[in-house]
Amino acid sequence: MSRRRRNDPAQYDDLAGEWWRPRGAFAALHWLAAARGALVPPAERPGAVLVDLGCGAGLLAPHVAGKGYHHVGVDLGAPALAEAARHGVTAVRGDVLSVPLADGCADVVSAGEILEHVADLPKAVAEACRLLRPGGLLVIDTIAATAVGRFLMVTVAERVPGGPPPGIHDPALFVDRAVLVRECAAHGVNLRLRGIGPHLTDVVRWLAGRTDHVRMRPTASTATLFQAVGRRR
Ligand SMILES: C[S@@+](CC[C@H](N)C(=O)[O-])C[C@H]1O[C@@H](n2cnc3c(N)ncnc32)[C@H](O)[C@@H]1O
């Protein structure tokens, strides 16, 4: 357990050397980034921009490379941004609650594993939607504010290999799906949600050291980990 308070972003600075280790503290973020990248279509125009909110060390980069976007990442953490820049991301230091980028600048906004870290969900959603041009795509993955979400993602996952670093999440910030859908709709984005979880056979192979990658699969419920996508009207 980190000596820092739960959800303190400085934990990412402490763990900066772990970002790109496929079997390191952020292993599951690699699996989620691959699943998120699969939701991003090829760019529809030259010069298209993908804004990656809470980009960390740019783990999404290999999964959108070649799709025709200029990949811009926004994060609080300087060490993570330096890593992201090494992976081809244009790094912008800033808060997702007050993003230093222009209205309508993005063809795609990615908010991967960030909404469960912010104290003001409506403000984060407003910022994500503000950045999108009309017709632009919002891609989200996050953790649901449910009893099962808190149990599986904190009580269980923090104790198993491949799970999040202990203390990285404050379960009080997990995302109320109804609020997320409502706030996005208020900003012109109608979201579709689907639950996701790891392929259990891949997890067994990963634990046995026989693979470095675990595929994510759709699940019947959105009550734990879920993805959401929608286009801005
Ligand atoms: C769980 S990591 C996700 C990183 C990346 N999206 C990925 O999936 O690999 C959360 C990231 O959000 C950043 N973060 C947390 N709160 C933030 C805020 N208010 N503004 C900008 N970045 C923030 C952290 O520094 C960290 O890099």
What single string gives the DSSP state of each residue in 163-179?
SPPTTS--GGG-B-HHH
For the domain covering 10-231, report its CATH number.
3.40.50.150
Residue 76 Cβ contacting ligand 1 at under 6 Å: yes
Apex 105 CA angle, 64 and 225, nearest 5: 50
Atom of ligand 1 nearest to the CA of 19: 9
Domain boundaries in the chain? Answer: 10-231
Q: Which protein residue's CA is at the shortest distance from atom 26 of ligand 1?
A: 56
Residues 97, 127: contact at Cβ < 8 Å?
yes
Q: Which residue has the tokens 């609080």?
A: 76
Residue 9 Cβ contacting ligand 1 at under 6 Å: yes
| Stated pTM of the model | 0.98
H or E segment and range at residue 140? strand 132-143
- Give 201 Cα–ligand 1 centroid separation in angstroms: 29
Which has the closest alpha carbon to 129: 232, 229, 52, 39? 232
Residues 218, 141: contact at Cβ < 8 Å?
no
Residue 166 Cβ contacting ligand 1 at under 6 Å: no
Residue 114 Cβ contacting ligand 1 at under 6 Å: yes
Atom of ligand 1 nearest to the CA of 52: 6
Q: Which residues of the chain have pLDDT under 70?
A: none
Give pLDDT, residue 2.
79
Give pLDDT, residue 200.
95
CA distance 1 to 202: 26
